[in-house]
Amino acid sequence: MADRIFLSPPHMGGDEAVLVQEAFASNYIAPVGPMLTAFEEGFAAYVGIPHCVALASCTAATHLVLRELGVGPGDEVIGSSLTFIGSISPVTFVGARVVLIDCDRSSWNMDLDLLAEELERAARRGKLPKAVIPTDLYGQCIDMDRILEICAPYEIPVISDAAEALGACYKGRHAGQGAYASVYSFNGNKIITTSGGGMLASEDAELVRRARYLSTQARQPAPHYEHTEIGYNYRLSNICAAIGRGQLRVLDERVTRKREIFEIYRERLGNLPGIQFMPESPSTRANRWLTVILVDPAAFGANREDLRLALEAENIESRPVWKPMHLQPVFHGARAIGGAVSQELFERGLCLPSGTALTTVDLDRICTIIRSQCPSVVA
């Protein structure tokens, strides 16, 4: 059988191994070192947010921001229902409760009308959420101007979950810009990877300084390590940062290729009955981290699970759209605002293989299998 085609595997640019070798030669194998500093500086310059700290994961980054905001038991934090759990699990790490908001059909991101209504109600109840964490789903930026406009009167900080959106733009600004804090992921399947890692970026120098301190066990500057509070072991290693530096160099190329792959799928599958593609909002340039289709089983003649299994039978990985958080057993009982739209996207949505190293032959194979599942094309 042909080699497995993965959903979005790592794709090295070539400089990574050289940079890792350089890190080895310097013997900065220990957590911090010059690669880490250079990675943070390069990243800050790329996203246009002045202060950055590289961490073990994006989930850790969000945890540190919530901790610094003083979020705790009895507090509420609003998140997107249609997201990956790492976006909101940190809310539970600090003992607070998540409130889950549905997405809208035009962007698949948090429905900002629902958010505005919820904040009005919260203000009337006299209990505002401590933060709002919108996800830039599948690499499409949230309408940042609008969400800031909604949250500003209540002075609620926005934490931009740009884990999937590095390289995407909103009105010419990089994903995450404008939020109080922004978090990014370098997990293995993201648009660039350090084999695992994350970044916290903010305009607030003090937030990033505190996050850096908390991420290395909150050590006071004393030779014996004095501790006045509890920290975490959340720092990215100098070796992983070397991979990140190499990956940053090819990030723009990766975005171009991801968008090309999306266009190839659209050309080949867009004319099939019952197939729709994830929309792109006019004010954004998505990075198309994953190409996502919606399957209308009545029109297409097969459902998204039929497609997924047909691909799997040919050793090709695809995946349903994220199962919404309000449907996850672990969040049973969490307050949910709406939810029908994300549920429908989950039931009908399929993420297609979107690795930037996919060849034309691979794409042909995938599209042929999908077309073969549509009875009206076959006939």
Ligand X SMILES: *Cc1c(COP(=O)(O)O)cnc(C)c1O
Give the residues lining the site for ligand X (CB under 6 A). 57-59, 83-84, 86-87, 135, 161, 163-164, 185, 187, 198
CB of 373 to ligand X, least distance (A): 28
CB of 19 to ligand X, least distance (A): 20
End-to-end CA distance of the chain: 27
* For ligand X, the closer CB: 58 or 341: 58
* For ligand X, the closer CB: 192 or 311: 192
Alpha-carbon distances, residue 275 vs 251, 267, 297, 368 (angstroms): 29, 12, 9, 14
CB of 163 to ligand X, least distance (A): 3
CB of 200 to ligand X, least distance (A): 11
* For ligand X, the closer CB: 28 or 234: 234
Amino acid at 106: S
CB of 314 to ligand X, least distance (A): 26
* For ligand X, the closer CB: 170 or 300: 170
| Rounded Cα–Cα distance for residues 148 and 39 (Å) | 29
Location of structure tokens 């080949």: 268
* For ligand X, the closer CB: 187 or 287: 187
* For ligand X, the closer CB: 163 or 208: 163
CB of 11 to ligand X, least distance (A): 16
Residue 226 pairs in a beta bridge with 220
Query: Closest residue (Cβ) to ligand X?
Result: 86
Contact 65, 184 (CB under 8 A): no
Residue 15, SS3 per DSSP:
helix
Catalytic entry in 130, 171, 190, 323? 190
Q: Detail the DSSP E strand segments found in the chain.
A: 51-55, 76-80, 97-101, 131-133, 159-161, 169-170, 173-174, 181-185, 198-202, 275-277, 284-285, 291-295, 319-320, 335-337, 349-352
Is there a catalytic annotation at residue 190?
A: yes
**Neighbouring C-beta atoms of residue 69, cutoff 10 Å:** 19
**Strands 284-285 and 291-295, how do they pair?**
unpaired
Alpha-carbon distances, residue 345 vs 107, 113, 318, 331, 374 (angstroms): 12, 19, 15, 19, 20
Could you give the residue numbers annotated as active site? 190
